Every structure is written in C-alpha cells, then in structure tokens.
Amino acid sequence: MIATEVRRELLYPLTDMAIIFAMIFFWLLFGLAQNAGLLGIVLMIILMPAYLRYLLYLLEARANNRSAPVPDMAMFNPADNFWSLAPVVLIAIAIWAGILLVPIISLLGVMLIGVALMVIVPASMAVLAITHSPAESLNPAAILRMVRACGAAYFAVPVVLIAMSCVFAGLYMAGVPLFLIDLATSYQIVLLFTMTGAVLYANKVAVLVDIPDPVEPTTDDLARDLDHERQKVANHAYGFISRGNRQGGFAHIRQWLENEAVVEEAYQWFFHEMLKWESADPALFFAQDYLALLLKWKKDDEALKLIARCLHENARWRPLPENRDDVNELAARHGRDDLITQMKN
C-alpha cells in the first residue's frame, strides 16, 4: 500500500455509518458488561462471539467490495456459522499463554510475542474468512501462502496495529481517560479487519490463494443453507410489514430475489412462507407480482394454480390491472371458467 492508500484505509471506518453504528454499539455493550458484576460475565460470554463474528463478516465484505454489514440478532446465535467462533478459542489461548509465560520469560518477552501475533493474526483471519475453516486458519503453510499472495502491502496492517498500540500505551501513561482509550482500541480492532479485507480485495486474494475447501457441502447442505438464508430475509421483511411498512418489506425481498439462481422457485418459496403469517394479505399482494412474472414466462399451469390459491385465500383477490386481460385469456384457453366467474363476482 502506498501512503495515500494507507491514509484512506485508516479513515475508512469513519466513512461508513454501518461500521460507526456497530463500533459504538459493541463498545457500549462491552462497557456495560465490564461494570455489571456477575451479570457482566454472562453478557461478555454472549457478546464476544457476536463481536468477533461481526468482524469476520466485515472482513469478508471488505474483501469482496461489498457494503459493511449491520449487526443483527443472527450474529448472537451460537449455533449459526460455527467457523466464525474460531477467534474466541484463539483469544482464550493467547490470554492464558500470556499469563503462564510472564513468570518465565518476563513482560518484555510476552510483549515481543504480542508483536509477533500482530504480524500473523491478519493473515490467519484472512484465511478463516476465505475458507471458513478454523483448522486452515492455524495452518502455517496457509498463513504463509496468504502473506505471499498479499505481497508487501500485507505488512502495512501489522505496522499500523503496532504503531497504534504504542500510541495508546503513551496516552494511557499520560493519564487519558480509560474509556477514550477503550473506544480508540475498538477502532483499532475494526481497522485490523477492514484493512486486511482491503489488502485482500486489492490483490484479488480470494481468487489467487489456492487453499482447498475443508469440506465440500452436499446438495442437502446447500438446500438447508438456502432455506435458512431465505428465512432470515422473510423474517426481516415481516418486521417491516408488521409495522405497516409493506413497501419496505417487499423491497427487502426483491433485493434478495435479484441474486437468486432459480427466481421462480424463490418466488414460490416466499409466497408459501408468507401464507404462514397471521394475515394472508402480504402473500396476496406479493402474488400479484409473482403472477405477472409467471405470465411473462409462459408458465400457464403455475399461474393457474397461483390464481386458484389466491382466490381460495380471499375471494376478493384480483391480479394487477395490467394483467387482468391476460389472466382472463389464460383461464379461457385452459377451460377454467370457474376462475373467470370468481374474478367477475
């Protein structure tokens, strides 16, 4: 990285409101945990995995030039994406190693080990973000390949981390309030992951690093993961719609549908999922757009089934005005006079 790029990356977290919100959100929660006694220990156990999971998602987003994620409840689910919990184990090992080594090799020795970790950790987290494999993130060969693929730009990350740590130590000795140093340290941790992601993106490392996938997912695994992701989208949309923002809820679903591999199947999934809600109205509104696409795709049988299901849910349901002539023609062509009669009543 040249000097201007380093300066840009140093300020990058301040240019994205999602990152600023996340940083302050976790900083406040960690501050609460530190002052909550025994309850704080429980809160810390809940917070730490979610925070590290968010940071890895942030690294992934930066490495793929995507928008920064916003913390959500899924990040607090310990059963979701076990690979992202690997840093929790690494941090625990590092803390206990430091406690055990201080009496043996002195504080200076431990500090030197800390510096060495700052050099290695960005590459380890990069490997973890790419492979989703905790084992690979600890593999020295994989870490070395990562450093080589990033080139000299990689070392800008540990240099910045070490320099910031020295500055913070000086501020602490100068009597700067501890809560400000904690906030600055939070910014430093975010920089570790955003700068690492920026180096990966600049060098297209996700494509160039030849690290094998740890486990090839089966068809069932892929289907289950897709359903899980769709369910999160549907739940988020339900939150919008239940608060009266139907347009926002549908916009969230449509944004997801733009990236679906099989759009027709995805529309069908969301339609049936919305029928499970306490009111069928959102599903029936969604069905109008779904029907318009089925007519465009010449999916006659699927369109007729959809029309019949919507009329069964609500006899007053109607297609979009611009589709009604096509629907009448479709029903007449297939001898479904019953549907034409229902829509005329």
Report residues of the chain scoring pLDDT below 70. Answer: 1-3, 78-86, 88-110, 206-218
- Residue ranges per domain, the chain? 3-208, 219-344
Neighbours of 325 (CB within 10 A): 10
**CA–CA distance, 89 with 120 (Å, rounded to integer):** 16
Per-residue pLDDT, 265 = 93
Q: Which of 122, 127, 116, 126 is nearest to 94 (CA)?
A: 116
Q: Which of 307, 315, 309, 241 is nearest to 279 (CA)?
A: 241
**pTM > 0.75: yes or no:** no
Per-residue pLDDT, 209 = 41
Q: What is the DSSP letter of 122?
A: H
343 neighbors 318 (Cβ within 8 angstroms):
yes
235 neighbors 252 (Cβ within 8 angstroms):
no
Neighbours of 338 (CB within 10 A): 11
Per-residue pLDDT, 101 = 61
Q: Which of 194, 184, 193 is nearest to 24 (CA)?
A: 184
Per-residue pLDDT, 223 = 84
Give how far Cα 55 sits from Cα of 27, 48, 258, 269, Å: 13, 11, 26, 31
Per-residue pLDDT, 127 = 84
Per-residue pLDDT, 212 = 46
**CA–CA distance, 34 with 276 (Å, rounded to integer):** 42
Q: Please list, residue by residue across 255-282, b when 16 or more beta carbons sit within 10 angstroms of its beta carbon and e when fewer do.
A: ebbeeeeeeeebbbbbbebbbeeeebeb
Per-residue pLDDT, 307 = 94
Per-residue pLDDT, 143 = 87
